[in-house]
Amino acid sequence: MESSDKRGSRPDITGYGLFDKNRRVVDGHTRPCEECGAVDWQVDTSRGEIVCNSCGLVVEENVIDPGAEWTNRDKTEDRSRVGQPLTYTLADKGLNTSIDVKDLNSGSSARHGMNSQSRRDWRRRRVIDERSKTRKSRERNLVKANQMIRDKSNLPKSLQEETARLYRRLSGEGFVTGRSIAGVAAACTYLVAREENLPRQIPEIAQSYAVTEKELSRLIRQVSRKLNLHKITSPNEYFDKFISDLQLPPNIFTQVNHLWSKIQPHEDIWQGKKPMGVAAALIYKAAAESGNSRTQSDVCKVANVSEVTLRGLLRIFDGLLAQLGEVSKQ
């Protein structure tokens, strides 16, 4: 029997381009292009189009991508779509379920039909549940710290994650041993907020975590040295918060920024002084000049500085502005 009669042999149809080695085949598009006759298709996944590489003809739009959606929210190489993203705010990174404290307050529990006795029972179960997940003291301390960060940091969820990650790193390096859990968690909260230019004052965080200002200031310095997070806080980071707290009109911000632009280049004047005090003095002066005066007592209460400090800074800034030819409108 001749070789041409072999079973399974294919007819010679290479002239149609079906078995051309150089040809690029896309599922569903094996015929030549209607415009140029080439068989060179490309799938543009970003646009959902099938295009001829030779002439650019778009032959199909809104193509559905049948592949998996590799959305990785954990910033790791694991591209599995199973389960929720891991979180550093839980000791087990979210691999177990937990009872959220927000569901046990009076408002939420009432919506779920829970009375006061049921709330007490569920709070007790929440404590037992948290303790049952840990065996070692380090794990128990991590649970306690993460719970503090979630309940007391008053930070957005993304920054809570960063705070918890920072605390976990310090705990793994043995820094927390011999130190207050609440103090280290508070220091991490302050440093993360500072790195993100989110104004948080030491007294505010110290009160939230029930630690002294002296202890918190000391731990902030120690953690900063440990993690090389040294940063000089600029007074302008407090402008938004203080203006909002004093309920001043938004146009005050323009005058405050004008004063700051005059004073900022003279670093010998303001560096080394409390940034909250500098911000308070500028806002007090801008408010007075624009006819929206606030008392020194009100400004000092918001900025957490003394009236003596405020008056001293005002004298310094008035002297500098006078030298620069800035006439006060007070």
pLDDT digits (tens, 9 = 90+) for 247-286: 999 888 899 999 999 888 888 788 778 888 999 999 999 9
Query: How far is 60 from 113, CA to CA, in rounded Å?
Result: 54
Q: At what angle do helices 275-289 and 307-323 cross, to 10 degrees?
A: 70
Query: How far is 179 from 316, CA to CA, in rounded Å?
Result: 40
Query: How far is 211 from 306, CA to CA, in rounded Å?
Result: 21
pLDDT digits (tens, 9 = 90+) for 5-53: 444 444 443 444 444 444 445 555 667 888 888 888 888 877 888 888 8
User: Are the CB atoms for 184 and 219 separated by under 8 Å?
Assistant: yes
Given this model, what pLDDT does residue 28 score? 56
Amino acid at 178: G
Q: What is the CATH number of domain 235-323?
A: 1.10.472.10
> Quick check: do 137-231 and 235-323 share a fold?
yes
For 294, other C-beta atoms within 10 Å of its C-beta total: 17
pLDDT digits (tens, 9 = 90+) for 87-116: 766 666 666 666 777 777 767 767 777 788
Identify the bridge partners of residue 44 per DSSP, sorted by sequence position: 49
Given this model, what pLDDT does residue 70 score? 57
Q: Residues near 321 by Cβ (< 8 Å), separated by ≥ 6? A: 259, 262, 263, 328
User: Are the CB atoms for 177 and 141 separated by under 8 Å?
Assistant: no
For 325, other C-beta atoms within 10 Å of its C-beta total: 7
Nearest CA among 248, 238, 237 for reference residue 288: 248
In CATH, 1-67 is 3.40.50.2300? no
Q: Dihedrals φ, ψ of 24, to 5°?
A: -100, 125
pLDDT above 60 for 195: yes
- Residues 300-312 have a mean pLDDT of 90
pTM: 0.52
Given this model, what pLDDT does residue 182 score? 94
Cα dihedral 213→216→218→220 (10° resolution) = -130
The CATH fold assigned to 137-231 is: Cyclin A; domain 1 (1.10.472)
C-alpha R_g of the chain: 32
For 191, other C-beta atoms within 10 Å of its C-beta total: 21
Ordered DSSP codes for 104-116: GSHHHHHHTT--H
pLDDT digits (tens, 9 = 90+) for 196-212: 878 788 888 999 999 99
Query: How far is 207 from 193, CA to CA, in rounded Å?
Result: 16
Q: Dihedrals φ, ψ of 308, to 5°?
A: -65, -45
User: Are the CB atoms for 129 and 140 separated by under 8 Å?
Assistant: no
Amino acid at 297: S
Given this model, what pLDDT does residue 82 score? 56
136-140, 160-164, 199-203, 261-265: the lowest-pLDDT one: 136-140
User: Are the CB atoms for 146 and 89 separated by under 8 Å?
Assistant: yes
Q: Residues near 257 by Cβ (< 8 Å), separated by ≥ 6? A: 236, 239
- The full set of domain ranges for the chain reads 1-67, 97-132, 137-231, 235-323
pLDDT band of 320, cuts 50, 70, 90? confident
Amino acid at 213: E
